[in-house]
Structure 1
Amino acid sequence: MDDSVDRHIARWRGKAPFDERVEAIVTRMQFLVKHLAQAKDGALAAVGLQDFEYETLHWLGARGEGGRATPSELAAELRVSPAGMTGRLDTLEKAGLVRRVRSTEDRRRVDVELTSEGRAIWLKAMDLRGEVEDAMVGVLGPDDQDVLAALLKRMLLRVESPGRA
């Protein structure tokens, strides 16, 4: 049974020099990543979040139950300017998803933490994304998933190695 990548390769066969196996692998990965991005957009829309809001909640949620960070830590992790982070936090705070609190370690410092509502909406978005991811990967059995994970890791290590393309 042909998929869209098989049709893509057939369209280009003989018209440009390319390795069909490499093209099939890379194009399928691109299409799967596009599918995941669309699923993420749908999950965020379903819970009423914009991407920048989700990313900020996600970084806070990754810090554990307390979900605390300084605005400058968040700005650095998310690669956003301090002014841009202030705007993000203002929006999230007005929505009741985060709150600014005095640091327990240094009263001069302000921390940002997830509210219970912020944690709940972030987890709902995570669940919706997870359903799509599970359905996509679930067509493979556990052994095939392990093999695919190992192969992708080898590829990623190659491109993450210094001096590698």
Structure 2
Amino acid sequence: MTDGTAEGTTGGTTDGTAPRDWTDGHVERWLPVLPTLDPDVEGAVTRMSKLTVHLRRVREQSLVDFDLERHEFDTLHKLAGRGGAASPSELAADLDLAPASVTGRLDGLEQRGLVRRTPSEKDRRRVDVELTEPGRSAWRGAMAVLGREEERLLGVLPAEERRQLSDMLRRVMAVAEEGGGAAWR
């Protein structure tokens, strides 16, 4: 993928126009019903929604493939995001869960050999949680599946267009996040 495209896909037709997708038909059906509908807003929102659903399905299948429950993956993901080691209270804060809920998750993950709890070197009253090699491997494997699909989809755009898309979505998200609080963690 040195040219920014995915396996010869250019994201357009042979005459240089953008290909039609399901959303084009959706917008065409709704315009006569709602004449004030902005086709660009409806198209963008519908495409983002359908893309989110698609990526969620890919993620869920990757969890099945790597024998992970969603809550297990989420816990491994937060732990990996802290360099592979954290305290249970840090994980509870990252997951926005009560400490007792995290303890239950860690019990299951430890029984499966995906994490290890050890006494803290800094405070004997605490324990530290770390990813084991099988835990890191399961997390990385599930992440790789989703990463490949993201690359496949966005690979139809050259690097500059991917950057522009990211910048445009950042501006939209900044507005959405205003006053959104914990909903955006």
Same fold? TM cut 0.5: yes
Residue number among 138, 160, 165 corresponding to 2:177 in the alignment: 160
Unaligned runs of 5+ in 1: none
SS at match of 1:139: coil
State which of 18, 25, 36 in structure 1 corresponds to 2:37.
Answer: 18
- Specify the code of the residue in structure 2 equivalent to 1:123: R
Q: CA deviation at 1:83?
A: 2.1
Q: Which residue of 1 aligns with 2:13?
A: none
In the alignment, what sits opposite 2:183?
none
Distance in 1 (CA, whole Å) between partners of 2:101 and 2:25 is 43
- In the alignment, the residues of structure 1 paired with residue 166 and residue 26 of structure 2 have an alpha-carbon distance, to the nearest angstrom, of 25
**TM-score between the two structures when normalised by the length of structure 1:** 0.92
Quote the Cα distance in structure 1 between the aligned partners of 2:99 and 2:82: 20
Question: Higher relative contact order by CA 8 Å / sep ≥ 6: 1 or 2?
Answer: 2
* 2:110 equivalent to 1:106: no
- Paired with 2:179 and 2:146, the residues of 1 have a C-alpha distance of 32
Q: Which has the larger helix fraction?
A: 1
Q: How much does 1:160 deviate?
A: 2.1
C-alpha separation between the residues in 1 aligned to 2:125 and 2:179?
Answer: 40
Q: In structure 2, the residue corresponding to 1:2 is in which secondary structure? A: coil
Q: CA RMSD in A?
A: 1.4
Q: Which residue identity is paired with 2:62?
A: A
> Which ranges in structure 2 are unaligned for 5 or more consecutive residues?
1-18, 181-185
1:51-130 map, 5 Å: 51-64=70-83, 67-130=84-147
**How many pairs are equivalent?**
161
Q: CA deviation at 1:71?
A: 1.3
2:41 is equivalent to residue 41 of structure 1: no
Counterpart among 28, 38, 42 of residue 47 in structure 2: 28
The structural deviation recorded for 1:36 is: 0.9
Could you tell me which residue of structure 2 aligns to residue 9 of structure 1?
A: 27
**Runs of 4+ in structure 1 over 6 Å off:** none
Return the letter of the residue paired with 2:159. P
Overall identity of the aligned pairs, in %: 45
